[in-house]
Amino acid sequence: MAWSHAHVPDQSGRTALVTGASGGIGLETARVLADRGAHVLLACRSVGRGRAAAARIGGSTEVVRLDLASLDSVREAAARVRGRHGRLDLLVNNAGVMFPSYRRTEDGFEAHFGVNHLGHFALTGLLLDLMAPVPGSRVVTVASLMHRAGFGALDEETARSSTGRRSVTAYGRSKLANLLFARELQHRLAVAGAATSSLAAHPGLSPTGLWQGDPPRLLRPVAAAGLRWLAQPADRAALPSLRAATDPGVPGGAHLGPSKLFETGARPLRPAPAAPPGTWRRKIVCGSCRRG
């Protein structure tokens, strides 16, 4: 039987934070968690859009301003969460950019790498002690099929490169970093004996706001065809994230993705390939994320 929204267990008494929750897959993830009784923190760059999303979702929600392109904003968001909540059960690192209009983050990082990986890396580190003692707590990092395009070293030079705004490789590299981070975090949590687990998920293909960037010209017809014939709505694309976050039968370290054609469909029944062979040993640096 295919896993669906109906399989999400009761989340009453749990607190969840979902990044990028003002639209698309993040909004659907937050909506289901709130519907199941969780208090959901909608971490959004735009407070106005976050409040509009909260009104649509209903239930118990709270908007937290978070701009992953600014490490100062990440620290401020984490401080607000820590000031208002003594524990955190779920952290869903969902937000991301693809082919953005800008080239660097506020801190000088290449935009894909800075937003998709380093911002979430810093946020997780700043909130992890709210989760580590909580039984059943989970960090879910949303990766992508495009992690297979993430060639090259994941190092300080890559992170601060001035190129890559319209590069498939740059986006893929950031998604590969997401995946490797999730795996290494699980390893370290297990060694420390923490109650928290780290998992990864990818949504397949969905026509969300992520595709509103400026892709390379040669990719546009391929993307248009894929979105037309293989894409699924955001509510179905959120299933892998929801299962990773809530299914007690899924172990830490798992990477969930759709099982249909080219892993673009909606049924998160089998783990997706973790990464190209040998890449899991790559070093991921955080640079100034180590501050504060």
Residues noted as catalytic: 171
- Torsions phi, psi of 44, nearest 5? -135, 150
Distance in angstroms (rounded) separating the CA atoms of residues 241 and 257: 9
Which structure tokens are listed for 14? 């749990």
Distance in angstroms (rounded) separating the CA atoms of residues 32 and 232: 17
CA-based nearest residue to 141, from 166, 174, 171: 174
Q: Which residue has the tokens 């014939």?
A: 229
Q: Which residues are paired to 70 by β-bridges?
A: none
Residue 41 host element (H or E) = strand 39-44
Which structure tokens are listed for 119? 């911002």
Which structure tokens are listed for 81? 């969460």
Distance in angstroms (rounded) separating the CA atoms of residues 29 and 16: 10
Find the DSSP H helices in the chain: 24-35, 47-57, 71-84, 111-112, 120-131, 156-159, 168-192, 220-229, 234-237, 239-246
Residue 112 host element (H or E) = helix 111-112
**CA–CA distance from 148 to each of 119, 145, 179, 202, 285 (Å)?**
21, 7, 11, 12, 20
